Amino acid sequence: MATGKLLHTLPGPSGYLHSVASVSPSTIVCGGEDGSVDFFDAKQRKLIESVPMKSKLPGLPKGANLWTSSLSVSGSFLSAGGGAEGVPPGHPQGWLASFHAPSRTLTSLAQSSAAINKVAHVTGHVVTAGNEAAVTYRGRADARQVAAVVPTGIEAGFALAPLVGGGGDGIAVAGAAGAVKLFEDRTFRRAFDAL
């Protein structure tokens, strides 16, 4: 990429794309407004597989729409998160999926009370931020396992990043609060060990 020359344009789904990740030197994954997780072969420049998350979630009301907002890769694991619109109050508003990336196999799927806007891998686990004032720590291989829920005071978390080095590991969360909040990660290690 030293020259900045465009190499290829992959045919994406219609609508906005919110996230893209590389799961191998030749496999690119994207997600967006259509609620799918799409795997592309970058060398052959074609779509390999599209996983429509709407078909995977039970009990969605007719007319509900899903979106994919965030993707994160750690080793052979791919995590995808998003939200739903057109669902009644009290119905899950968000979802988190775990995939075995090399085989593109969906390994687990969890629903959440609020949309998930950001997914990251921290200390071998999946951490999510979304439309609730908390960060949720989950199992990497099984998205349904919740280790801890940490209040953030940020009503809508849109950015989440692991902090490494220095005085210890932690996470940074930003969103609707107009500030970046830093949280220590060590507090939750006992919960992680239980997963």
Residue 121 CA to residue 114 CA, distance in Å, equals 19
Nearest to 189 by CA among 136, 145, 137: 137
| Structure tokens, 3 | 């020259």
Q: Can you give the pLDDT at residue 4?
A: 83
Q: Can you give the pLDDT at residue 191?
A: 44
Q: How confident is the model at residue 186 (pLDDT cuts 50, 70, 90)?
A: low
Q: Can you give the pLDDT at residue 185?
A: 63
Nearest to 23 by CA among 8, 9, 40: 40
Q: Tell me: pLDDT of 167 over 60.
A: no
Pick the more confident residue, 188 or 162: 162
Nearest to 110 by CA among 152, 148, 81, 84: 81
Q: What are the sequence ranges of the domains in the chain?
A: 17-55+64-194
Q: How confident is the model at residue 58 (pLDDT cuts 50, 70, 90)?
A: confident
Pick the more confident residue, 38 or 59: 38
3-state SS class at 153:
coil
Q: Can you give the pLDDT at residue 101?
A: 92
Check: CB of residue 81 under 8 Å from CB of residue 117.
Answer: yes
Check: CB of residue 184 under 8 Å from CB of residue 146.
Answer: no
Q: How confident is the model at residue 165 (pLDDT cuts 50, 70, 90)?
A: low
Pick the more confident residue, 70 or 15: 70
Among 47-51, 53-57, 77-81, 185-189, which is the least confidently predicted range? 185-189
Check: CB of residue 64 under 8 Å from CB of residue 85.
Answer: yes
Kindly report the CA angle at 40 between 86 and 45, in degrees rounded to 5?
130
Residue 55 CA to residue 92 CA, distance in Å, equals 15
Question: pLDDT, tens digit, for every residue of 108-161?
Answer: 999 998 999 999 987 778 889 999 888 888 877 788 888 788 888 888 888 888
Question: pLDDT, tens digit, for every residue of 61-109?
Answer: 888 899 999 999 998 999 999 999 988 888 889 999 999 999 999 999 9
Please give the CATH topology (third level) of the domain spanning 17-55+64-194.
Methylamine Dehydrogenase; Chain H (2.130.10)
Q: Can you give the pLDDT at residue 164?
A: 67
- Longest Cα–Cα distance of the chain, Å, equals 51
What is the secondary structure of 38-61 as a DSSP string?
EEEETTTTEEEEEEEGGGTSTTPP
- Number of H helices and E strands in the chain, helices first, is 1, 15
Its pTM stands at 0.87
Q: Can you give the pLDDT at residue 176?
A: 84
Q: What is the DSSP letter of 105?
A: E
